[in-house]
Amino acid sequence: MNKTDSSHGRLTPDLLKLKYEYLFKAIGGYGRLSLELKCIFLVLILYLPGIITTSLAGTLDMYISDWRKFASTVLIGVIVWLLARFLRRMNRKLQQVSQIISPLEKEKSTQDGYKEWKSWEEKIKSYKKWSDKLDSRSWYYLQSVGGAICGFILGYFTINPSLGWVSNNLFNELYLRIWYIFLGFLTGTCLFFLFGGFWAIRRYCKDVISDKEILPLDPDRTGGLRELGRLSLDLDLIVALPSIVFPLYLLQNPNIQIDFIDTGPWILISLLYALVLVFMFFVSISPAHDNMVSAKTSYLLKIHSEYKDMHEKILKKLEPKELLDPDEYKKLSGLYELYDRVEKMAVWPLDFQTTLRFSITSLLPLVTIGITISI
């Protein structure tokens, strides 16, 4: 437990310790093995049974040469790794933002400072009470079991036992159907955690952050909220990754007999996919945007007011041709620098690096479908 957790308590429940959930609990928990090594073992556990069954059936060459199967399995390991890492970091990042924007502890002794601290603590308490609902087991079972059922249905309609390395071998077919069921289960489980992360970020931006806490002069140029943008980007990347393999797998797999598959619908699906990525990223942090605009505008108006007072004083001295004090020039120059600094503050919790990474992430579905069509 880190210092932040021990001194202030968790803002969000530890979803890697969800009761009766075992996959992410085993992989994402701290232990002797690293997260990366556990994900490699997951890929091997999913892929090696296929090598065994196809070896016994004499179709090993076909299985090994099926790059889509291997790529899909590796992608599962990467997604699990990214999601477990996100769940590990989510609470810590929210705590970090809280430490940056919370009222100064030394001001608690003053009347105004005490009111600010009291208001802040009430917001944190309310957020914690809401976030306790994120580890709902009923929603977890609904989505994970529902995903497994969808995986079974997908396998039923897409697996042709007479084609490919399955080739009328019961064990090969059974392995592939179990693989589809696990894929559906994993998809449902990931959706549970993804929605939890999405709402945790959005509710934090909405319920905890206000224009009073935002710091327009913070060195990160995002009012102290940069880590929120990075946390939302981590979530968006997890959602974007399946687009790397999914269209390629569907369009090029001869085992899937679906008459309506052609380039038109998949271009539309890729466009919708990209819009979903944009929606998840910006909607999760949109409440902070409104407060950042308000805080920036408020500070600029204060600077304008200060400049107006200085301007009047300078004009009064210039009319009788009086000499200006050098300190007044310095004060005016400092005011210009202050204005420029506040003006450069972003109104989204995004620095240049985060914005660039998001642009690349949101284009993944379109790039993937472009490659697919060109093959």
Phi-psi region of 327 (alpha: psi -120 to 50; beta: other; left: phi over 0): alpha
**Domain residue ranges of the chain, discontinuous segments joined by +:** 1-208, 212-375
Q: What is the pLDDT along the chain (375 residues), one digit of tens a residue?
A: 344 443 357 899 999 998 888 999 999 988 889 999 999 999 999 999 999 999 998 889 989 988 878 888 999 999 999 999 999 999 999 999 999 998 877 666 677 678 888 889 999 999 999 999 998 889 999 999 999 999 999 888 888 888 888 888 899 999 999 999 999 999 999 999 999 999 999 999 999 998 888 988 888 889 899 999 999 999 999 988 887 776 656 555 544 444 444 556 667 777 888 888 888 889 999 999 999 999 999 989 988 888 888 777 777 666 666 656 677 777 878 888 888 888 988 999 988 888 888 888 877 777 776 666 555
**Would you state the structure tokens that stand for residue 155, as one six-digit string?**
């396998």
Please tell me the distance from the alpha carbon of residue 351 to that of residue 226, in angstroms, as a whole number: 7
pTM of the model: 0.85
Cα distance between residue 342 and residue 46, in whole Å = 53
Dihedrals phi, psi of 84, to nearest 5 degrees: -65, -40
> What would the two tokens of residue 67 be?
């790059």
Instruction: Note the residue count of the chain.
Output: 375
Q: Are 159 and 176 in contact (CB under 8 A)?
A: yes
Three-state DSSP state, 221: coil
Asked if 39 and 27 count as a contact pair (C-beta separation under 8 A), the reply is yes
d(CA 257, CA 222): 50
* Distance between CA atoms of residues 217 and 302, nearest Å: 13
User: In angstroms, rounded to a whole number, what is the distance separating the alpha carbons of residues 166 and 69?
Assistant: 12
Q: For residue 110, give every residue at least 6 positions away whose Cβ sits within 8 Å of its Cβ, in sequence order, or none.
A: none
223/100 Cα distance (integer angstroms): 9
Structure tokens that stand for 209 in this block: 């952050």
Report the distance separating Cα 55 and Cα 174, nearest Å. 15
CA distances from 232 to 90, 116, 367 (A): 10, 28, 22
Give 127's contacts (C-beta < 8 A, 6+ positions apart): 11, 203, 204, 207, 208
